Structure 1
Amino acid sequence: MSAVITGGLPLATGGLAAGVTAETLVVFGIILLALVLFVTEWLPIDVTAIFVMVLLILLGPDGIVNFTQITTTEGVSGFSNPATITVLAMLILSSGISRTGVVQILGRKMANFAGDSPHKQLLATIGVAGPVSGFINNTPVVAILVPIVSDIAHKGNTSPSKLLMPLSFASMFGGMLTLIGTSTNILASDVSARLLGQPFSMFEFTKLGIIVFIVGSVYLLTIGHRLLPERVPPEEDYIQEYELEPYLTEVAVVEGSPMVGKTVPAAIDDAAFDADILGLVRDDEQFIEPASATTIRAGDELQLRIDRDTLASLVDEATLGVVGTPDSDADLVADEQAEQTLVEVVIPRGSFLAGKTLASSTFRKRYDATVLAFRSRGGTIRDGLENRPIHVGDTLLVQAPPDSIDRLSRTSDFIVAHEPDKPEYRTDKIPHAAAIMLGVVGLVAVPFEAIGAWLASATGIGAFTALSALSLPIMLTALMGVVAMVATGVIKAPELYDAVEWDVILLLAGIIPLGIALEQTGGADLLGALVAATANYLPVIGVLWVFYLATGLITGVISNNASVVLMLPVAIEAATAIGANPFAFVLAVTFAASTAFLTPVGYQTNLFVYGPGGYKFSDFLRVGAPLQLLLSVVTVLGIAFFWGLRPA
């Protein structure tokens, strides 16, 4: 019995089974539980990660039994991990740059170049999103460019579906150009440093990243463009796009109606009728989202979101007369406000609305806005909106006054798929932000040690070797950059907290201990040995390719950061077992985890474009599967060429 409690007694003998201990099985069980929770989203992914962390500690030496070998200190080590701190700092730096408007300025130049040509629009989208994502975290880049690209598509009479998925994919290509392009690279570098003593340099994989970017871009401009469907019509008419005609009605309040004398919020019993008052016409004057204190009078015409059956009941009870049905956006909103009154709003990870309903979140009261419909998991919801849970990646069709839409666009809780007419950018801070980012990158990338040694040798002045002190770790330079941005006013101190995607930070902090447990309990050794057995049938490059494909598939259903933490220890053990170059396997896993094209849920940028593009789940598989297969070959061959398959 004691052997079971400590987990030290092998459960079977002979071959690989001899390495399977109770500890190993417990960690595998926790991994399986985590995978189920990640896929089903029964809990938010950051909460799942923290739950895993707590479970590891409870089943460790400081908890109730010693199954996982994870002490309390190791369990919470993810919070102090250099990768977590670096990602936090890079998110703040990216936010600072976005607040200067430099990405938006590039977007406008992109729009001027693109014009009405679909091919130029696609080329401009890829050409801006890719390179920029190499130096700014690709998640905020896509969040900034979604409204710009959507506007370009509509103004150029192109379906947004033709541009938004390439926007997400191009940002992934760009994320592989440098160490700081995506949080996955930073995390993988930390794991590689811990297990191999070999972290990534700033431009470690830039040469291969450029090849991946070119090959992927050519695919999107040719084959991918043809495979992309036109889910959203080119014309920007949301009523027709969301098929809302049967759910929008205009009614007249007649004399003697129970509504007369009531305020707009109290006019309709929410518990009895699934309906919203969207507008009010009085004496030929139209009020969009009428104020809550507005009192309804006889003769008023109300614009309602309501289905036909509910309308019949409401007309009977409230003594109303049906006037007509809006057929387009222009019929629903006042002409001078038509461009801004109806907008699509995407729910990103970390939004307060994720996991809540419209009723429980008091969304309407908070933002003076009404949701007419929303897209969720590839379907469109038009009735019963108030009590349906909102998921990450859902796209809400919102009607609101211009000032409310501006407020929505200024919060990180939403991505408004329409660029504000009067954006508040700190363009005067662009030089400061550029200089700070140059310093952050330069202090990591420039080989000061080699330069100092060369100067000392060439001049005979030994003091030049002191230049090596200028070579600093990315965590430190990133934190220095944060301080510099606050000091120069690029970003204000209270904005620091809004700039951080806390769900990503909690995910990293919670999932890192799981990777440690996988290593300590021998789980990584066991899985590595199982994969290494494929070397009996495949050459080393074939095993490397298997790891690339496996990581790509896993990332399609769980977080890219989680897949890196789980796959890297296994890849290193497998490489060691077959006498291959472990660093080559680390790179294969990193590239595969950072280029997740198969599903909309594996990568946050895919979620950002899922709703505004009107995509179905299968669209990502149709366009992404050939791309994933193509890049698997290109990446694996590139790794073999640049880094070699055998240890040096």
Structure 2
Amino acid sequence: MGWSHGQLLQVGVSTDILVVLGVVLLALVLFVSEALTVDVTAIVILLVLTLLEPWTTISPAEAISGFANEATITVLAMLILSSGVSRTGLVQRLGRRMANFAGTNLRRQLLTTVGISSSFSGFLNNTPVVALLVPVVTDVANRGDTSPSKLLIPLSYASQLGGTLTLIGTSTNILASNVSARLSSRYPELHAFSMFEFTGLGLLVVLVGGAYLVFVGHRLLPARVPPQADYLAEYDVGEYVTELAVGPDSQFVGESVESVTAALGPDIDIVELVRDREETVAPRQEKRLDEGDVLVVRTNREVVRQGPELAGFDVVSGTGTAALDSGDTGTLVELVVSMDSRLIGEPLDPEQFRADYGAAVLGLRSWSEGVVNRIVGRRLRVGDTLLVDVPEEGIDRLSRDPDVIVAREPSEPNYRTEKAPVSVAIMVGVVGLAALEVLPLLITALGGVVAMVVGGVLEPNELYDAVEWDIIFLLAGVIPLGVALERTGGATFLADQVVAIGGALPVVVVLWLFYIATGLVTEVISNNASVVLLIPVAAASASRIGANPFAFVLAVTFAASTAFLGPIGYQTNLFVYGPGGYRFGDYFRIGAPLQLLLSLVTVGGIAFFWGV
């Protein structure tokens, strides 16, 4: 039933509640539409809450308190600790050892993928875990003559399952614990989560979900990308690449690559220079052309079709894919735009990309559109996948760049392998001290960060690159919004509507409906925003119907940590979109049955362990 402003006032809804619900609606619109980036949306929320202080009750000091909130600082510290472990190469080395066990058997490959991903994600942030394992799992698939499409979505989903094992498995758990502790003054059943408080339920979720992925899920996934994929065919590169020969009468003889690039215009990018059968990938701007040189260029279909009209060059018959496919000098690899990448929101400039990364862009696969024809000027988003031609020695350098995820393992990875025992010891100390309640998790995590630097696992200047700042800003923005929702009575009002609709249903059914609703909301907004907005409503609803508020809090927490219905519900889903060659429907095909299965398992487990 829709409520007008007048009707809401008639039933006794205060202006404060209406204003805060309006801010929540604004936040939801901005999250769903992606009109602004997540961090900018968070700042907008803070500004609106402050400007509307007479109704939201959020003062300027309270609006920015999210930056100093215990959950925000703890998440920041855990991101840094996860980065320290990843820089030792521990995840990749263990993944490769398990890959040797997997061989060519698909079920073993899936078991390996699910086992390693879920295990590490119980103690490390799952975003870097998936980023590190994408090239490992892709190589497992290629060596085992298996389509990477069969393994990459299970990799992402298993990392989410693993995040339910411990308090530090995901930032969602840490934030939910903080919200639960804040609400404990109103609902005595609530409290901050201990390190292993829900590990039993998490193990059940991992075992059931993992079994589904190993034995059932892969049957629902099409083999979008064949083993040892032909990238040129996958990205339709033949439609966009051609060869231009420098004739004896060309005005470009003796001119630099930079001058030729300017003359050709922004729609044409020089990928390779072939001279006397020797190829130079992404030639330097100062390199000068000789008579007989052949330029392999990437452009759009219209320019390729115009052919002979390219003044100053002889268009070689056919396309330039033969030179690219030879692999004599360059290597074709996929790069996934990572979280917090400097590329996000920036227009793709092939010349700048060449200067920054030493690679030539051949194709772009966007999760929202598939293979893109015109790539120059295209604004990049998280999860977009670029096909690039890069010298073999350049792959190692790219693999160390935080802005991109290379979908294949480097030949000479630059890991700090000698520091692996130190990083493990630090993580054991952080988890152990917090689990034994010797010190709060916030203190042990910050102490772990200091130990990572002192122990040489991380350099001081690497701390900033390790943090996913959009998550930090998001937490800082939504925490005050959650406070306003609770303080003004907005959460209680929404809970009353839930009770009015489902109050006659059995408590366990209402609990299940909250799980399903949270899962659907998480698909369109951030998982962290979901727990902040829905936990107060869930706790109030439980109190209204005489149920256990803690059970409802756990249902929301677990549902927000697992987003299986599409690529945009969770960042790790985007990381595998391009390398797996997926379509939107592939996620729903395998994810919907999994979401339904886990809704029953989780709700049943909560009822068994904690009661409803």
The two structures have a TM-score, normalised by structure 2, of: 0.95
Q: 1:181 and 2:181 equivalent? A: no
Give the whole-Å Cα distance in 2 for the aligned partners of 1:391 and 1:400: 22
Compute the displacement of 1:403 (Å). 3.9
Give the whole-Å Cα distance in 2 for the aligned partners of 1:116 and 1:337: 30
Compute the displacement of 1:410 (Å). 1.1
Compute the displacement of 1:273 (Å). 5.8
Give the whole-Å Cα distance in 2 for the aligned partners of 1:585 and 1:316: 68
Give the whole-Å Cα distance in 2 for the aligned partners of 1:136 and 1:559: 19
Q: 1:332 and 2:331 equivalent? A: no
- In structure 2, what is the equivalent of residue 476 of structure 1? 443
Superposition CA RMSD, Å:
1.9
Partner residue of 1:293 out of 286, 290, 308: 286
Give the whole-Å Cα distance in 2 for the aligned partners of 1:272 and 1:326: 20
Q: 1:640 and 2:607 equivalent? A: yes
- In structure 1, what is the equivalent of residue 79 of structure 2? 91
Give the whole-Å Cα distance in 1 for the aligned partners of 2:510 and 2:373: 51
Shifted more, 317-326 versus 146-155: the winner is 317-326
Compute the displacement of 1:30 (Å). 1.1
- In structure 1, what is the equivalent of residue 277 of structure 2? 284
Q: 1:627 and 2:594 equivalent? A: yes
Query: Equivalent pairs: percent with the same residue?
Result: 58
Partner SS, residue 353 of structure 1? coil
Preserved contact between residue 258 and residue 318 of structure 1 (Cα < 8 Å): no
Give the whole-Å Cα distance in 2 for the aligned partners of 1:285 and 1:600: 41
Give the whole-Å Cα distance in 1 for the aligned partners of 2:383 and 2:72: 24
Q: 1:146 and 2:134 equivalent? A: yes
Give 1:225-374 correspondences, 5 Å limit: 225-269=218-262, 272=265, 274-311=267-304, 313=306, 315-325=308-318, 331-332=323-324, 335-337=327-329, 341-359=331-349, 362-374=352-364
Preserved contact between residue 232 and residue 613 of structure 1 (Cα < 8 Å): yes
Preserved contact between residue 281 and residue 360 of structure 2 (Cα < 8 Å): no
Give the whole-Å Cα distance in 2 for the aligned partners of 1:301 and 1:292: 16
Shifted more, 38-47 versus 363-372: the winner is 363-372
Q: Deviations over 1:102-141 (max 9, x none)?
A: 0011111122111122221111100100111101111110
Paired residue type of 2:148: P
Compute the displacement of 1:203 (Å). 0.5
Compute the displacement of 1:343 (Å). 1.0
- In structure 2, what is the equivalent of residue 456 of structure 1? none
Partner residue of 2:109 out of 121, 130, 149: 121
Paired residue type of 2:324: L
Paired residue type of 1:442: G
Preserved contact between residue 10 and residue 22 of structure 1 (Cα < 8 Å): no
Shifted more, 590-599 versus 361-370: the winner is 361-370
Partner SS, residue 493 of structure 1? coil
Structure number with greater Rg is: 1
Give the whole-Å Cα distance in 1 for the aligned partners of 2:168 and 2:225: 34
Preserved contact between residue 300 and residue 374 of structure 2 (Cα < 8 Å): no
Q: 1:567 and 2:534 equivalent? A: yes
Compute the displacement of 1:308 (Å). 4.8
Shifted more, 582-591 versus 262-271: the winner is 262-271
Q: Deviations over 1:523-574 (max 9, x none)?
A: 1000011112244331000110010000000000110000010000000100
Partner residue of 1:485 out of 452, 456, 469: 452
Shifted more, 365-374 versus 553-562: the winner is 365-374
Give the whole-Å Cα distance in 1 for the aligned partners of 2:606 and 2:543: 17
Q: Deviations over 1:350-385 (max 9, x none)?
A: 111111111399323222222111111343344321
Give the whole-Å Cα distance in 2 for the aligned partners of 1:433 and 1:495: 15
Partner residue of 1:399 out of 389, 413, 424: 389
Cα distance 1:218–1:317, how it changes in 2: closer, same or farther (>3 A)?
Answer: closer
Partner SS, residue 243 of structure 2? strand
Q: 1:446 and 2:436 equivalent? A: yes
Paired residue type of 1:554: V
Preserved contact between residue 281 and residue 329 of structure 2 (Cα < 8 Å): no
- In structure 1, what is the equivalent of residue 187 of structure 2? none
Compute the displacement of 1:246 (Å). 2.0
Cα distance 1:512–1:270, how it changes in 2: closer, same or farther (>3 A)?
Answer: farther
Paired residue type of 1:525: T
Partner residue of 1:377 out of 352, 356, 367: 367
Q: Deviations over 1:297-325 (max 9, x none)?
A: 11111212134531354633424333344
Shifted more, 568-577 versus 104-113: the winner is 104-113
- In structure 1, what is the equivalent of residue 64 of structure 2? 76
Paired residue type of 2:9: A
Return 5+ residue gaps in structure 2 as ranges: 185-189
Give the whole-Å Cα distance in 1 for the aligned partners of 2:263 and 2:567: 34
- In structure 2, what is the equivalent of residue 217 of structure 1? 210
Preserved contact between residue 286 and residue 334 of structure 1 (Cα < 8 Å): no
Give the whole-Å Cα distance in 2 for the aligned partners of 1:48 and 1:585: 28
Compute the displacement of 1:258 (Å). 2.4
Cα distance 1:258–1:273, how it changes in 2: closer, same or farther (>3 A)?
Answer: farther
Cα distance 1:560–1:297, how it changes in 2: closer, same or farther (>3 A)?
Answer: same
- In structure 2, what is the equivalent of residue 46 of structure 1? 39
Q: Deviations over 1:401-432 (max 9, x none)?
A: 23433332212211111111111111111111
Give 1:609-628 correspondences, 5 Å limit: 609-628=576-595
Compute the displacement of 1:223 (Å). 2.1
Give the whole-Å Cα distance in 2 for the aligned partners of 1:575 and 1:198: 15
Paired residue type of 1:12: L
Give the whole-Å Cα distance in 2 for the aligned partners of 1:557 and 1:308: 35
Preserved contact between residue 158 and residue 210 of structure 2 (Cα < 8 Å): yes
Paired residue type of 1:621: F
Partner SS, residue 397 of structure 1? strand
Give the whole-Å Cα distance in 1 for the aligned partners of 2:137 and 2:182: 40
Shifted more, 299-308 versus 92-101: the winner is 299-308
Paired residue type of 1:231: R
Paired residue type of 2:537: V
Paired residue type of 2:64: V
The two structures have a TM-score, normalised by structure 1, of: 0.90
Give the whole-Å Cα distance in 2 for the aligned partners of 1:397 and 1:548: 39
Partner residue of 1:100 out of 88, 93, 96: 88
Shifted more, 403-412 versus 476-485: the winner is 403-412
Partner residue of 1:494 out of 444, 456, 461: 461
Compute the displacement of 1:252 (Å). 1.7
Compute the displacement of 1:282 (Å). 1.1
Paired residue type of 1:372: L
Give the whole-Å Cα distance in 1 for the aligned partners of 2:72 and 2:596: 31
Partner SS, residue 349 of structure 2? helix
Q: 1:415 and 2:405 equivalent? A: yes
Partner SS, residue 478 of structure 1? helix
Partner SS, residue 230 of structure 1? coil
Cα distance 1:192–1:151, how it changes in 2: closer, same or farther (>3 A)?
Answer: same
Cα distance 1:536–1:313, how it changes in 2: closer, same or farther (>3 A)?
Answer: closer
